Structure 1
Amino acid sequence: MNKKTLLIVAVSILVIAFIGITYLLLAEKQTNRELVQEFQLEKEDLESEYTQFAQQYDELKMTVSNDSLATLLDREQMKTQRLLEELRTVKSSNATEIRRLKQELATLRKIMIGYINQIDSLNRLTVQQKQVIAEVTQKYNDASRQINNLSEEKKGLNKKVTLAAQLDATNIWIDPRNKRDKKAKKVKDVVKFAIGFTIVKNITAETGERTLYIRITKPDNDVLTKNAGNTFSYENRTLGYSIKKYIEYKGEEMPITLFWNVEEFLYAGTYRVDIFADGILIGSQQFTLE
């Protein structure tokens, strides 16, 4: 086989390989496009279900004469509307959040079935039984209202004291840096994050050692962490953290700078830094990597 023939064979192989790779890339792009369309349709269907579900509460309340039950229905309807607003802000590609909101809808359905059964039971009662229930309900509502008023007053006072005594982080900044410790312009050059903020002066806050938890969240809401066991409690759930920092707080303004060494794959998008202390979110800041 002469050199000319070998050259033709080599070129042919390269052309076939190029066509094959191009086909695979186009197929993958088409698959991704179809997945995005599926997620979008699923989100639209879920929004429609939530909207219909919220409207069903209006129809159900028209059949209720029991004030206590009507209040509970109002509460569930408001929860449904709140979840609907959450769904509308979720990106179509965020499968985790859409799955969670789908599960929430299933739970709401079970609750509504329970209310429908209660309403049916009440509607089957005699007039005398309804009157007795109305009197008992009124007394219960009066007692509950008094207890709730006292409880709300106490909560209000406790909340004011808690808000006044909690720490607050301001002037939050995030500086992505390259291996020369200069500000990185591109995401591929980032080797660490410098994070700074100020704990403001607060003479009502308790002094002493405090623990700060810093969460760095990627655009897909995954938190950057060195260990899956790095967690803390927040609003009756467990969250992962990126950085844990002990400070000695003396009630005065306190500047803090922290560093995160990047050992994970980063990609362009909007990242977020959240700062927690004493089980409270005390500051947040977003930043974008290109």
Structure 2
Amino acid sequence: MTENKNNRTITWIVGGILILLLAGVSVLLISEKKVNKELTQEFELEKEDLENQYTTFARQYDELKLTVSNDSLSSLLEQEQLKTQRLLEELRTVKSSNAREIRRLRNELATLRKVMISYINQIDSLNRLTAQQKEIIADVTQKYNAASATINNLSQEKKALNQKVTLAAQLDATAIEVTPLNKRNKRTKRTKNIVQLKIDFVISKNITAQTGEKTLYVRITKPDNDVLTKNDADVFAYENRNLRYSIKKYIEYTGEEQPVTVYWDVEEFLYAGTYRIDIFTDGNLIGSQNFSLN
């Protein structure tokens, strides 16, 4: 009787211990499951954060390429962007629980970050250099334009001065007077009695004019604008064309005032009206005068 009672007691004790062990194991399993769930959530969040960082990096390479005009650097940025996109695809295929791969890809991201920083520094240096070059080019251009303007002004001033010098050196024929003469060498007023036209004028004093032999061309123009000439071949050059002349006269100009007289022998019919005398030398018109015949 006593032995049976002892056996039941042992059985109760063993059963209690087993129940306690089962309860402990259950608690441990529940706790471990909870921990595993929390770890899984943490891994998923870490993976998601890593994916966001990779995506941001890929987008930043697009932005960087827009700021680069250097072909070599642009090509390197393109390569790094492709590498980033490739690693992002790898990350997306990795399970959240694969801690080893997640850690490797996180290290790759750290390396990519260092590379990007180095490229950003290069781009900043190039941009600063480009800005300095633009400033230098702008400064040189401004100085060139200023110098060109100065040269142009000097050229205009020189041209104007040359024109003044040319005008100052040009001879002038003044005091032009035409005297109709008859066969007795006397002044006459009747056109039918005129056998010769005496033309007097004065070459003014000009110390700036070139001295030496001068060729004077005198044109006598009738009222109908026809030029009196002895030969149609009697022409001289004036303003890129040839003009007929009536009389050619050689003088030795000394720079001092010099009277000149030329004659036109009348061999054609002269009618009443207003005639004109024009005197040329050195390619310039140096004097003109109208006169009338009755």
TM-score (norm 2): 0.48
Larger Cα-atom Rg: 2
TM-score (norm 1): 0.49
